[in-house]
Amino acid sequence: MSVKQSLPLTELDARYSDPKAAAADWTEAVGRLRSAETYWLTTVRPDGRPHVTPLIAVWHDEALHFCTGADERKARNLRHNQEVVLTTGVNSLSEGSDVVIEGEAVRVTDESRLRSLAGAYVEKYGKEWAFDVRDGVFVGDGGEALVFQVAPRTAFGFAKGEVFGQTRWRFTQ
C-alpha cells in the first residue's frame, strides 16, 4: 500500500515558540527526514515500558521506512502495539531543528514495494546496505529483516537557535 497524503494542517505553538517564530514548512521537514542518517525509534514493550533505539531509515512514498530482525526487541514490541515515534535532528541546542513523527508502524510485504525500498536504502546509505527481497522480507548479510512503514499522523518540528519555534503538523488519512 503506497501512502499518498495531502499537505498537513500546520500550526505554530506559541506557548513554546519565540514571538518572532513562524510555523515551519512541511516541505522543509520532509527535506530533513530525507537527508537524516540516524533516527530514534520509540516502541512500547508488552508490559508498557518504552524502548528506544537508533536505526537507519528512508523517506519514501510520503512515509518513513525502517527494517528490523523478527526477533529484535522492536519487532517483538510491534507485534503487541504498532504505535511508534520516530525522531531525528541535531544534538545541539544552539542551531538546527528536530523532527518527530508519530504514527502506526505497518508491515510492508509487497515485493515490488520492497524492491523499491531496497533501492532507496542503497541510494541513501551505499551498497553495504543492499538487500535482496524474498518472501516478503529484506534479506541481507545479517539475515532476514521485516520492513515497516510509518506514515505521519502527527509530526512536530522544533527550531533551535536564535529563534526557537515548535510547529505541529496534523495529517488526515
Q: Are 87 and 42 in contact (CB under 8 A)?
A: yes
For the segment 76-102, the average pLDDT, to the nearest whole number, is: 95
- Residue where the block lists cell 518472501: 135
| Residue 41, C-alpha cell as written in the block | 525509534
- Mapped to the 3 state alphabet, what secondary structure does 138-154 carry? EEECCEEEEEEEECCCE
CATH class of 9-170: mainly beta
Rounded to 5°, the CA angle 6-7-12 comes to 150
pLDDT category of residue 6 using cuts at 50, 70 and 90: confident
**Is 90 exceeded by the pLDDT of residue 2?**
no
What is the Cα gyration radius of the chain?
Answer: 17
Instruction: Render pLDDT for 159-173 as a digit per residue (tens, 0 to 9).
Output: 999 999 999 999 986
SS3 category, 1: coil
pLDDT category of residue 1 using cuts at 50, 70 and 90: very low
Instruction: Render pLDDT for 7-33 as a digit per residue (tens, 0 to 9).
Output: 899 999 999 999 999 999 999 999 999
The fraction of the chain above a pLDDT of 70, given in percent, is: 97
Instruction: Render pLDDT for 41-76 as a digit per residue (tens, 0 to 9).
Output: 999 999 999 999 999 999 999 999 999 999 999 999
CA 121 – CA 60 distance, rounded (Å): 10
